[in-house]
Chain A
Amino acid sequence: MSAGVELNRPSSPSGGFGGNIGRLAVRLVIYAFSIFVILGPLSSLILWSFAEKWFWPNTLPQEWGLQYWSRVLEGKMAEALTVSFGIALLVTVLCIVLCVPLAYMIARYRIPAKPVLLLIFLLPQAFPQLPVFTNAMELMYRWDLVGTLTGVTLIHLVGALVFSVWTMVSVFQSISVSLEEAAVNLGASRIRTFFTVTLPIAVPGIIASSLLVFLYSLDEFTGSLLIGSPFITTMPVYMYNSAMGYEMQTASVTGLLLMIPGIILLLLMQRFMKSEYMAAFGRG
């Protein structure tokens, strides 16, 4: 091995011939490992979604077809798809309306008992959702919200709010106060300053945060299963039901449909992803 330094020059091998082969081998092993580990399970879903007949021990499906994909557009699955997207859209809009002013206040103003307010929005991230949601379910029984769209939307909203407040606070904190002060000094009212100076700068961040909220609601399972049943079936719950009934193809088609928005989002905002935005995604 040579002592060549190539920390920031990934494609400039400076070692001898043996070193090059060694490095290439390491890279190839890592590629093979990554592709197998990440794409292996996912490709199983793709195979199953096109399999009309697949019996063990055939390596590949005996009959291929689009039969299960065509069911997306009809019946129960279409219903689950509509419900899921509808709720996700509603949750996203509610989050924007409620969180933009709140996050702006947290980022800019002195609020009495601010640490308490911050903890209210941070602690839900620390604890498991299931035991809390089972108790929320009892409350919702009292208000007749179990099995209703309102109930499911509310339970999604809790997690979504916690997540979106934090991302939006960091969006507003990244905008320089001096811009706002300049506008105020020139005689603009605070409200006008917010709408003509701050908000336009914050829009990309707000959009990024909203897309993640949309995805959170689309993927939410625990709350939907508890609060939605038996009348409201979202996509993840539909997928759970079909997998439990060993309908492998239906479950795989649903799973792939659930993945598509996330993959699109990943391609779109790869470069803008910050780890603090993502912390709330490690939950389920």
Chain B
Amino acid sequence: MSAGQRKINKWILHAILVLLAIVTLVPYVWLIIASLKGQDDFFSAIFLPPGDGAFGIGWDKLSLDNYRALFDLGFEVNLINSVFYSATTALFATLICAATGFVLAKHQFRGRNLITLVVLGALIVPPTLLLAPGYELLYDLNLLDTSWGLLLPLIAPAFGVFLFRQAVIQSVPDELLEAARIDGCSEWSVFFIVVLPLVRPMIGAFMLITFLGMWNNFISPQIVLQTADKQPLSVAIAQLRGVYKTDYGLLTAATVVSVLPVAALFLFLQKQFISGLTSGAVKG
């Protein structure tokens, strides 16, 4: 291939990539602009409404009114709920899975192999199979429409135990644990001072994927929670759509409010997130 040919290929590649990037990004631009528009302007322009401002655009037609209307409806309660549910799930799931994964990886006791086998077996149980019996169980335990009923089934995922068991096997050498014990560390300090720092990348990645998983979880809160004040954003926004079906401004504003915190968190912790996503995959 000649150098000229190569250069042309490079430009074609970039042109395709830029085009695809635009296709990916346009919905965001549309979403944000839509959340600032008044109801009438939805039919006058795809993006910014025409008017007598700079570039022939009616800048004065844009406002935060939709956001005001959204918070007048009490949407901030759902935002707080989402933060609470996601943070609690991330914290407890990480602690419980790390503790279990460590013990299954490094401790010798009767029943260890059986438990490991059952945990691995549980990975193939599709969560949808547990919806109906899980609902009946929460009814029997009187936990329907409570935070406990939502959170307790979600803070001990077998998948997390599997990930932490792998992480401990890969990055915690037995000699280090023995050395710590000889130095007089109790088993508790071995776990908190020696093991946890060594699996820190997994802790970061797992906390982030659990947080996002809960933030975007729809079916669990939809089934468990009935009171509007207890619902997270995912359920609240779907109900908002049911009531205000054609209020595009309100619905787009609600989407922006729901997505922004997570996008900010991601940009902040990007590397860990991507490594967390691929951590389930086979390496090499």
Q: Do A and B share a complex?
A: no
